[in-house]
Amino acid sequence: MGEQTFRVAVVGAGAAGTLTATRVLETAYEAGARVALTLVDPAPGTGRGVAYATQDSRHLLNVPAGRMSGHPDRPDDFVRWLGARESRDVGPGEFAPRSAYGAYLAAGLDEAVARHGAGALRRVRERAVRLAGADGDAGRRIGLSSGAVVEADAVVLALGVAAPGLGWAPEGLREHEHFVSDPWVPGALDRVPADADVLLVGTGLTACDLALTLARPGRTVHAVSRHGLVPCVHAEKPAASGPLPAPPPVADLAGLRRWLAVRAAHYRRTHGDWRPAVDELRPHTTALWQGLSATDRDRFLRDDLRLWEVLRHRLPPRTAAALDAARHSGQVAVRTGSLVAAEPSSDGVRVRFADGGTSCFGAVVNCTGAEASVRRSQDPLVQDLLATGAARPGPHGLGFDTAADGRLVAADGGARRPVWTLGSPRRGNLWETTAIPEIRAQAIQLAESLAKEFSRIIP
């Protein structure tokens, strides 16, 4: 496309990558600049990633449709799109299927491409495994699994949520043919026998979704975790609380705990519902996280994390009702505990729990959630970035260390390279960074940063 074209490569075609690509093309179009955007991801589709690739209609967004717009200046965009798609009125309080949201993100990118020009986007369905380019080099070279290379003036790493961690898995389980290490890999559940009980390790949102997928008469889906806590449920009708106040400055984790308890008690008295106390923290979570000492953040990760996730990441009412019905009928059972040993058996996998009990299951499914430590990532691109010093772990080992605009901080502490990231890889710096409101805001910020870059190159 000539010397006047700025080349952007986005690694990852899930929600973060698709929102970024859309925003970059929109920003370039508004600026009258020519951008050649390459979207690198082996997935066959766009916009889905781990979160929205499921085709099970029982897997719902855990946020109402009215809060899922990809455009903050058009808050009803997703609601309007879904209504047009389904030829009906969609309420902002509905919890839509996750697969529909993936289609919405893909449609948004298609519109941006059509506006900018068909040649603006190239889709490379391969896995990125390396990133090269000297400090003084304005461009980057992305090595692909095939050995091919994508060259770009700027790179965005939209890597999404990491694969589930395996540190908990006892010896002998990881290699077992009926162990499902990542249930969201296409075809992963094909290894689950149709007529045998199943063990889900983890009791969070993933376990709740998979319990509904796998539950059936004649089978019990067992879910186990160290806490045995299942996510709370969204209120059928959210409390009308009006504008939510900002939390006062808190000096430490103990003060934040006290403040949250006071606010929860207030909302129970005034609205009969504790949920607004958690929701009003949402816009301030990053500032609160960054204001805590490293010791307090470690303490939160050790002592408070699971309870916070249960309160913060809630189930849609319909999902909770279906899960309750399955538990009542005996098709789903939840217990507290942990696995200490596993071995093959004639029925599949024999598991021994920490309390000494043993049980046989046709399959064991890992529902523990994304691997928290970037150092333990098995992604070859992540390993390459750390090994070459192009990136370093974020605070507490969570994701990558990033500058304020999302640019990667190298091992030497510099943030000079034209490489950015957003979403889950920024968790160590921002904490609240995996939901759509945060990702869309980061995509906008990132597009603005890239606009400054291509304005220096393109007259």
Give the CATH number for residue 351.
3.50.50.60
Domain closes at, from 312, 328, 355: 312
pLDDT over 60 at 457, yes or no? no
- One domain, residues 378 and 360: no
Task: Kindly state whether residue 240 falls inside one of the protein's structural domains.
Answer: no
- In this predicted structure, what is the pLDDT of residue 2? 44
- In this predicted structure, what is the pLDDT of residue 419? 95
- In this predicted structure, what is the pLDDT of residue 243? 64
- One domain, residues 128 and 55: yes
pLDDT over 50 at 10, yes or no? yes
- In this predicted structure, what is the pLDDT of residue 220? 97
- One domain, residues 321 and 304: no
pLDDT over 60 at 135, yes or no? no
- In this predicted structure, what is the pLDDT of residue 1? 40
- One domain, residues 156 and 187: no
- One domain, residues 353 and 395: no
Structural domain boundaries, residue 396:
5-59+97-163+372-457
Report the pLDDT averaged over residues 137-166.
90
Decide which of 280 and 42 is more confident. 42
Instruction: For 244-302, write each residue's pLDDT tens digit.
Output: 677 777 789 999 999 999 999 999 999 899 999 999 888 899 999 999 999 999 999 99
Task: Kindly state whether residue 447 falls inside one of the protein's structural domains.
Answer: yes
**In sequence order, which residues have a C-beta less than 8 Å from that of residue 87 and are 6 or more positions away?**
none
- One domain, residues 396 and 451: yes
Confidence class of residue 416 from pLDDT cuts 50, 70 and 90? confident
pLDDT over 80 at 459, yes or no? no
- One domain, residues 140 and 188: no
Residue with tokens 């993100």: 105
Instruction: For 225-240, write each residue's pLDDT tens digit.
Output: 999 999 999 998 877 6
Task: Kindly state whether residue 70 falls inside one of the protein's structural domains.
Answer: no
- One domain, residues 400 and 266: no
- One domain, residues 348 and 385: no
Task: Kindly state whether residue 200 falls inside one of the protein's structural domains.
Answer: yes
Instruction: For 54-97, write each residue's pLDDT tens digit.
Output: 999 999 999 999 999 999 999 999 999 999 999 999 999 999 99
Number of domains in the chain: 3
Report the pLDDT averaged over residues 43-59.
92
Task: Kindly state whether residue 248 falls inside one of the protein's structural domains.
Answer: no
Task: Kindly state whether residue 247 falls inside one of the protein's structural domains.
Answer: no
**In sequence order, which residues have a C-beta less than 8 Å from that of residue 371 and are 6 or more positions away?**
162, 163, 164, 165, 166, 167, 377
- In this predicted structure, what is the pLDDT of residue 139? 60
Task: Calculate what percentage of the chain has a pLDDT beyond 70.
Answer: 96
pLDDT over 80 at 397, yes or no? yes
pLDDT over 80 at 458, yes or no? no
- One domain, residues 329 and 306: no
- One domain, residues 218 and 264: no
Distance CA 346, CA 348 (A): 6
Report the pLDDT averaged over residues 311-331.
97
- One domain, residues 11 and 143: yes
Task: Kindly state whether residue 92 falls inside one of the protein's structural domains.
Answer: no
Domain closes at, from 351, 366, 381: 366
Report the chain's mean pLDDT, rounded to a whole number. Answer: 92
Task: Kindly state whether residue 103 falls inside one of the protein's structural domains.
Answer: yes
Domain closes at, from 267, 296, 312: 312
pLDDT over 70 at 241, yes or no? no
- In this predicted structure, what is the pLDDT of residue 244? 63
Instruction: For 171-219, write each residue's pLDDT tens digit.
Output: 889 888 999 999 999 899 998 998 899 999 999 999 999 999 999 999 9
